Amino acid sequence: MQTQLRTTTCGALRPDNVGQTVTLCGWADTVRDHGGVMFIDLRDRTGLTQVLCDPTEVPAEIWQAVQTVRPEYVLQVTGRVEARPADMVNAKLATGGIEVRSHHITVLNRSATPPFPLDDKEAERVSDELRMTYRYLDLRRPAMQRNLRRRHAVTQAVRAYLDSQDFTEIETPILTKSTPEGARDYLVPSRTVPGTCFALPQAPQQYKQLLMVAGCDRYYQIARCFRDEDLRADRQPEFTQIDLEMSFITPEDIYALVDGLIAAAFVAAGHPAPTLPLPRLTYAEALDRYGSDKPDLRFALPLVNVGEIFAATQFQVFGRVLAGGGVIKALNGKGLAGAPIRIMDDWTAMAKDAGLGGLAYIRVQEDGAWKSPIVKFFSDAEKDALRAALDIAAGDLILFAADDAAVVNTALGRLRLLAAAQAGVIDPAAFALTWVTDFPLFEADAEGGLQAMHHPFTAPCRADAERLESEPLSLRAQAYDVVLNGVELGGGSIRIHEAAYQRRLFAALGMPAAEYEDRFGHLLRALEYGAPPHGGLALGLDRLMMLLGGADSIREMIAFPKNQKAMDLMMNAPAAVSERQLRDLGLRFLAAAPSE
């Protein structure tokens, strides 16, 4: 990495370089005056090198300049590499065995005092707002530099892997048509066609299907996507997907391909490759065992259906639920019998928020006694059956949920995560991957109609396809998600490749023919020209990097992210524009936005 201004980088020097004359460039990380001799830790993206400046060895004007140096000044240093004394070796630094005894230092630029320390530990105490306002400073921190380099390495590995699998990287448009079927679109008014708007793509979904119609066979793209939705730790208004599509495939082809892609990404990020093939769960199995379609499998703690145990129960609450067609499930919080009352109050409130009438639980005392107001209604046979089904031992906390299956799964699924965290059984360094398959094709919407669970281009399982009009909620989709540590990395499906069936599905969703021809006519026309069977998947690159990097938010893995209000605090965007720009677009802003 030699340039006209430097011969090497700050992280490259080792004891083998002792005796060499080098020129380094970087930022002053720390400046220390040790009895008239100045020590400067010089930093660039590769690491730190300690620089020694002795006033007896440099011209007076250089010494004067060195005395003005403060943290974050940009310096050029020329000097000789020396071995540090044995008692001064810093084993924590790769360059800790050497230092550079300078004979020339140039201040390339001065720096104002940073608004927060650029030390990784200190920066953790700084608000996100301040870090994002001065993101160009935040990115100087070693942790952020590592995140950017790791993301680069993973992206390069993905490209190399897909190239080895005969994929072609193809860019698709950023300015496209608004076809809202999920989050709100970001709209871009057109100046040349007044009264119309482009939309920024939520995903390249239709374009990649059109590429399959075009005979491209294997497409991929590191794609920028945009969704105007409420944000949280794993969402941003603009994000990046590893987007791919293949022709003449089944889901098994997707599983095999993406297994290898994920393994390549793990290795590039510095982790061992996961064992392949990745495990699989059906959607029904995931909900039944873990209460979630994106289960965290770093720990066991399964949900256990105990309805049969209480088939003849005297406990009326359970009896009424079973009589009404509901379910009773329990989970065993190993070692949590001593959980404080405040924790149980919080969990009960969460269970009610999920739709349960309350949360029943049993604390198993150290002497084996069961402490709960509900146990007096249990027969000895029911207790024995529960012990066997839940592996109950002293110190356990048994949590029950009784209601409609969807409510029970949601509530206990959330409690499962809370109980695991409270018990300390989640290894933060562990990785657990799984495929979740066989999703329902449809789900009921708030008005009692149908909506696509994934998107309306998803093909049903072949065995179910002809029940589209008669039993639509019974249809399973050829859809799949890949999940890592309880986070959906991405998902995809086999697509509908026949225009007639795609029209039937739009109609099943209650979409008038005029509407789907207007919104999706381009795709329907394309499917009439010999579209091959095809399918694909999109992986969230930002989410993948968040998990591989051990971060709590995808913002740590994006160079210039937005905050929770979808604002760029550094650029102060979005921002007002001139009246002339609005006039050119035929727009004007209302004094106050209308309520929805």
Which CATH number covers residue 22? 2.40.50.140
In a domain, 596, yes or no: no
Q: Is 195 left (phi over 0), alpha (psi -120 to 50) or beta?
A: left
pLDDT at 182: 67
Residue 210's beta-bridge partner residues? none
pLDDT at 233: 75
**CB-count exposure of residue 534 (10 Å: 0-12, 13-18, 19+):** buried
In a domain, 182, yes or no: no
In a domain, 510, yes or no: no
**Element at 552 (helix H, strand E):** none
Phi, psi angles (nearest 5°) of residue 590:
-75, 155
In a domain, 394, yes or no: yes
What is the token pair recorded at 112?
């104002």
Q: Where are the alpha helices (DSSP H) in 354-447?
A: 380-390, 405-423
Q: State the CB neighbour count (10 A cutoff) for residue 302.
A: 17
In a domain, 203, yes or no: no
Number of domains in the chain: 2
pLDDT at 596: 46
In a domain, 253, yes or no: no
Phi, psi angles (nearest 5°) of residue 60:
-60, -40
CA dist., res. 134 & res. 144, Å (int): 13
pLDDT at 590: 82
Q: State the CB neighbour count (10 A cutoff) for residue 125.
A: 8
Residue whose entry in the numeric block shows the structure tokens 């609005």: 582
**Domain span at residue 58?**
15-109
What is the token pair recorded at 152?
């680069």
Name the nearest CA neighbour of 316 among 371, 360, 262, 269: 360
In a domain, 530, yes or no: no
Q: Which residues of the chain have pLDDT under 50?
A: 593-594, 596
In a domain, 114, yes or no: no
Q: What is the CATH number of the domain that holds 408?
A: 3.30.1360.30
pTM value?
0.93
Instruction: Choose the final residue of a domain: 366, 393, 426.
Output: 426
CA dist., res. 236 & res. 228, Å (int): 9
Instruction: Choose the final residue of a domain: 109, 144, 170.
Output: 109
Instruction: Choose the final residue of a domain: 426, 445, 478.
Output: 426
Pairing verdict, β 280-282 and 327-333: unpaired
pLDDT digits (tens, 9 = 90+) for 54-113: 999 999 999 999 999 999 999 999 999 999 999 999 999 999 999 999 999 999 999 999
Residue whose entry in the numeric block shows the structure tokens 């309880």: 486
pLDDT digits (tens, 9 = 90+) for 434-459: 999 999 999 998 888 899 999 999 99
What is the token pair recorded at 192?
């040349």
